[in-house]
Amino acid sequence: MTHLLEIDHLSVDLVTHRRYRKVLQDVSITVEKAEVVSLVGESGSGKSMTARSVLNLLPAQGKMSGNIAFEGQSLMDNTNKDWQRFRATKAAMIFQDPRASINPVHRIGDFLTEALVHNRDMDRHEALERAATILEQVGIDDAKRRLRQFPHELSGGMLQRVMIASVLLIEPQLILADEPTTALDVTTQADVIAILDDQRAQREMAMLFITHDLELAAAFSDRIAVMYAGYIVEVSTPAQLHARPLHPYTAALLRSRPLLHERTERLPQISGRPLSAFEAPPGCPFQDRCPYVQAQCSESLPPTQLINGSIVRCHRANELELASTASADAGTEGGQSRE
């Protein structure tokens, strides 16, 4: 069976301070048609770079190795023209901060229609008609007037809807959403996510959703991939992830979120700081912060294993019994205070 998107052993190196540094290591993940897969992780874990790699939008001098395939066709030998065609038709990206990403000097109408006009030679008026229809679908009324406005005249939530509309207009099979609500007010976040998911589902588009918010990811993803230091450490369904996390990092993430029905003096935190891929020690990247660390963890990189349909990268995944809430797991308290 061919997957819609298949990322296979992807590694990415970027130039920072005049030196190549790893940001992604051996990342493998698939997205099926109409499926939502979330990439969850702290900043610097490589989740945005994974999405950017799919469109070949790495920073200058970035290097990719491994394979990315779309509908069974490898993208790695794509020419610039091939990439342009791929971006114009197959996959589109929603960026984090619409205020920065939507060019402030062009009108909303021009922003929405430019891809149709320049890539598909569509008549401008026809493109504007379509744009107006889609604007209404994403919950922007008075669309005709909005098309003539400039980005700074719209609120952040509105602008992100415009961004969503621009992606829907292209009718891609895959949406790459890079923390689409992080820059927005908390109150508008839910609206925007709901609209995005709703419209996507209607059109049967797949989505790779990037977020640092595990709750949010769980709310509407089919599968969740947890990233740490450039590695994918666990891939699972939301239900399974909550019931039985397999990787100590996932468990720690789950425990460190506040719960509505419980009052805690202090939320448990993960000691130490998140690492980037190039800082990770040999062996398991999480070893320095892991309460369950053993000698083998620093000796070799854990292989990925399949347990109950979930993918996990931990030497002790089979023996550990992890819980997703702090109260249900008294045993880890001691482990967490250990440096």
**Phi, psi at 206, each rounded to 5°:** -85, 160
- In the complex with another protein, the residue whose CB is nearer, 147 or 326, is 147
Query: Which one, 163 or 311, has the nearer CB to another protein?
Result: 163
Phi, psi torsion values for 234, nearest 5 degrees: -160, 140
Rank residues 7 and 229 by Cβ distance to another protein and give the closer one. Answer: 7
Asked if 23 contacts 52 with a C-beta cutoff of 8 angstroms, the reply is no
CA–CA distance, 11 with 70 (Å, rounded to integer): 17
Give the number of other CB atoms < 10 A from CB of residue 238: 18
Q: What are the DSSP E strand ranges found in the chain?
A: 5-16, 19-31, 36-40, 63-70, 73-74, 91-94, 174-178, 206-211, 223-228, 231-236, 305-307, 310-312
What letter represents residue 277's amino acid?
A
DSSP state of 268: -
Instruction: State in angstroms the smallest separation of the CB of 118 from another protein.
Output: 5
Minimum Å distance from CB 116 to another protein? 10
Q: In this complex, which beta carbon is closest to another protein, that of residue 58 or of residue 218?
A: 58
Q: How far apart are CA 267 and CA 293, in angstroms?
A: 22
Quote the least distance from Cβ 240 to another protein, whole Å: 33
Sheet strands side by side (includes 73-74): 19-31, 5-16, 63-70, 73-74
Kindly state the smallest distance separating residue 84's Cβ from another protein, in Å: 5
Q: At its nearest, how many Å lie between another protein and the CB of residue 101?
A: 5
* Residue 82 token pair: 């091939």
**Looking at beta carbons only, is 18 or 338 nearer to another protein?**
18
Nearer to another protein, 170 or 301 (CB): 170
Packing angle, helices 108-120 and 124-137, rounded to 10? 130
- Tell me how far, at minimum, the Cβ of 181 lies from another protein, in Å: 17
Nearer to another protein, 11 or 119 (CB): 119
Cβ distance to another protein smaller for residue 31 or 94? 94
* CB of 192 vs another protein, minimal distance in Å: 17
Reduced DSSP (H G I as helix, E B as strand, rest coil) percent helix, strand, coil of the chain, to 5: 40, 20, 40
Residue 219 sits at the vertex; the CA angle it makes with 218 and 223, to the nearest 5 degrees, is 45
Which residues sit at the interface with another protein, rule CB under 8 A?
55, 57, 60, 80, 83-89, 92-93, 95, 97, 100-106, 114-115, 118-119, 150, 152-153, 166, 170
C-alpha span between 52 and 137 (Å, rounded): 27
Q: Report the nearest approach of another protein to the CB of residue 86 (Å).
A: 7
